[in-house]
Structure 1
Amino acid sequence: MIKLEQITKQFRLSNRSLTAVDAVDLEIREGEIFGIIGYSGAGKSTLIRMLNGLEKPTGGRVTVNGMEMSSISGADLRKARQKVSMIFQHFNLLWSRTVAENIAFPLEIAGVKKADREPRVRELIRLVGLEGREDAYPSELSGGQKQRVGIARALANEPDVLLCDEATSALDPETTDSILDLLTDINKRLNLTIVLITHEMHVIRKICHRVAVMEAGRVVEMGDVLQVFRSPQQPITKRFVSQVTETHDIKQAIGQLVRENPDGTLIRLGFVGERTGEPVLARLIRTFDIDVNILQANVSQTHGGTFGSIILNLAGDEAAVAKAVEFLHSEGVETEVIERD
């Protein structure tokens, strides 16, 4: 569906060259929700803009649904863009047009007759849950409603790909979840390929099938979301995962408990799928003569399944603690010994 081959994008500044995207290889499958995450300046917005030809790569090839976006221009590019739609952080609505008129605008540009536009607009209004708001203007809408208009407008020409550029960053958490639920529903109903860029790991966890992590213009880690959450490899990925799995309050509480219990071995356990409900800790406590203190525990849901993590402090005879850790390994529990600061 989407293939990036050694994509590079450089910008000429007054006295130097800036590499925003650096030799990225990426494949996105048809019908999946693919997330690209990175902090500001990572290159993710530049990358996504090359998928619909808003930016041309300095080097490499961008192919979307068989069309090489990196080489076409003019009428061919305009036609290709009808199948690669985009929604934005700040909605980009036409403030002098009503909801229905905003949604109809791409159809007008495409030369669709009014008699054919109207049923399509009504269908899209139902799809995004804006019945009764057809004649409202953007100034009369909430942030979530504005983004629903943006989504409906992006779907007007029945695209194959929907690009989401920080589409929930301007929304409160509850509204963000409602928009993510809508995107998930659209993905399932229409088999629409969605590429979503964000700096929020909550967004990735909730709806994405796979994720690429960007840093300094490069993709430094990529994989199924569940696997990335279970076993992040790069320091930046671990920081993103900790946004969801370790809140500031929890970190402070763990730090306090560690200070109060300076002896022992800190370990982090990972459980996946059905294993999250198994009584492994109960067997551990019954089997070994050690003190087990649970410092943190949580269970999270990703698109690919459930995973849980527990941080323990094991105190007691050194040999007994070592055997306890070995027991956890033998039970198939992902176990990591945490170094104390």
Structure 2
Amino acid sequence: MIHLQNVSKIYKAKHGDVNAVQDVTLDIKKGEIFGIIGYSGAGKSSLIRLLNGLEKPTSGTVEVAGTELNKVSSRGLRKARQEISMIFQHFNLLWSRTVRENIMFPLEIAGVKKSERVRRADELIKLVGLEGKEKSYPSQLSGGQKQRVGIARALANNPKVLLCDEATSALDPQTTDSILDLLSDINDKLGLTIVLITHEMHVIRKICNRVAVMENGKVVEEGEVLQVFRNPREPMTKRFVQQVTEPEETKETIQHFLQETATGKTIQLSFVGQAAEQPLITEMIRNFDVDVNILQGKISQTKDGAYGSLFIHIDGQEKEVENVIRFIKDKQVEAEVITNV
């Protein structure tokens, strides 16, 4: 559905060229939810402007829904954009128009007759859960409701691709989850290809099938979300994964314990899929002459399965502790001895 081949974007500036996107190659499949994550300045915004045709690449190929955006005429680009819609961080609604009128606006521009515009708008209002708000104005809506209007408006012309530019970063956590659930539901019902631009790993974890990590204009790591959680390779990716699996309070707890404890070993266990459901601790206590202290743990649910992280301290004879570690690894659970956080 989306193919980027060796794409670069260079902006000219007084103090030298800015390499916003550098040699990016990506393939995004039809019907998947693909996340692009990076901190400010990573190149995410420049990349999404290439995907919707607002910018042309300095080099490389950008193909979306069968059209090479960097090669078509202005007329061809306008036609291609009808299949690419976008939702934004700050909603970008028309404040003088009602919910229904905001959703109808793209159809009005496209020359669709009024009766059809109203029918389509009411259909989308039901899809995004805004029944009863048809005649409300944006100023009368909550942040989550405004974003639902933005999503409905983006779907008005039946696009094949939906681009989401930090679409939940202005929302509180509970509202964020409700919007992500809505996007996932839309993906399931409509088979829409969704590309999420974000700096929050929670967003990636919750609904994305695959993820690309950007740093300094480059894609430094890419893969299935569950695999990236299980085995992040790059330092930047590890930082993002730790947002979800090892929040700051966990680090503080483990670091304090390491400073206070002179014997035994502190171990981080990583579980993926069915391994997260094993009664591992019970078996360790039953089968080995060791003391096991659970320090901190969390199971995160990704779209394609569970990922768990558990910190434990094992105390006992050195040989018996080593036997426990081998036992853990035999159970297909990753075990890493922690000496510093």
Secondary structure, counterpart of 2:329 in structure 1: helix
Secondary structure, counterpart of 1:297 in structure 2: strand
Which range is displaced more, 250-259 or 146-155? 250-259
> Deviation of residue 319 (structure 1)?
2.1
Whether the aligned pair in 2 keeps the contact of 1:292 and 1:312 (CA below 8 Å) is yes
> Deviation of residue 263 (structure 1)?
2.6
1:153 equivalent in alignment to 2:153: yes
Which range is displaced more, 187-196 or 261-270? 261-270
Give CA-to-partner distance per residue, 1:234-290, whole Å, 9 cap, x none.
Answer: 111111111111222222222222222133222211122222121222222222223
1:133 match: 133
Q: In structure 2, what is the Cα distance between the partners aligned to 1:128 and 1:221?
A: 33
2:36 match: 36
Q: In structure 1, what is the Cα distance between the partners aligned to 2:262 and 2:137?
A: 61
TM-score by length of 2: 0.97
> Deviation of residue 302 (structure 1)?
0.6
| Unmatched tracts of structure 2, length 5 or more | none
Give CA-to-partner distance per residue, 1:17-38, whole Å, 9 cap, x none.
Answer: 0101110110000000000111
Query: Residue type of the partner of 1:336?
Result: E
Q: In structure 2, what is the Cα distance between the partners aligned to 1:171 and 1:117?
A: 29
Query: Residue type of the partner of 2:221?
Result: E
Whether the aligned pair in 1 keeps the contact of 2:2 and 2:65 (CA below 8 Å) is yes
1:16 equivalent in alignment to 2:16: yes
1:335 match: 335
Secondary structure, counterpart of 2:133 in structure 1: coil
Whether the aligned pair in 2 keeps the contact of 1:266 and 1:340 (CA below 8 Å) is no
Whether the aligned pair in 1 keeps the contact of 2:162 and 2:194 (CA below 8 Å) is yes
1:310 match: 310
> Deviation of residue 317 (structure 1)?
2.4
TM-score by length of 1: 0.97
Secondary structure, counterpart of 1:50 in structure 2: helix
Structure 1 outlier segments of 4+, above 6 Å: none
Whether the aligned pair in 1 keeps the contact of 2:56 and 2:70 (CA below 8 Å) is yes
Query: Residue type of the partner of 1:22?
Result: Q
Query: Residue type of the partner of 1:232?
Result: P
Give CA-to-partner distance per residue, 1:52-75, whole Å, 9 cap, x none.
Answer: 101111110011121001222311
Q: In structure 2, what is the Cα distance between the partners aligned to 1:168 and 1:340?
A: 34
Give CA-to-partner distance per residue, 1:133-164, whole Å, 9 cap, x none.
Answer: 11111111111111111101100000000000
Give CA-to-partner distance per residue, 1:156-177, whole Å, 9 cap, x none.
Answer: 0000000000000000111111
1:48 equivalent in alignment to 2:48: yes
Which range is displaced more, 28-37 or 241-250? 241-250
1:291 match: 291
Secondary structure, counterpart of 2:256 in structure 1: helix
1:180 match: 180
1:26 equivalent in alignment to 2:9: no
| Unmatched tracts of structure 1, length 5 or more | none
Whether the aligned pair in 1 keeps the contact of 2:258 and 2:339 (CA below 8 Å) is no
1:191 match: 191
Give CA-to-partner distance per residue, 1:82-101, whole Å, 9 cap, x none.
Answer: 10000000011111111111
1:272 match: 272
Whether the aligned pair in 2 keeps the contact of 1:106 and 1:157 (CA below 8 Å) is yes
RMSD over aligned Cα atoms: 1.3
Q: In structure 1, what is the Cα distance between the partners aligned to 2:315 and 2:54?
A: 58
Whether the aligned pair in 2 keeps the contact of 1:210 and 1:225 (CA below 8 Å) is yes
Secondary structure, counterpart of 1:180 in structure 2: helix
Q: In structure 2, what is the Cα distance between the partners aligned to 1:240 and 1:70?
A: 32
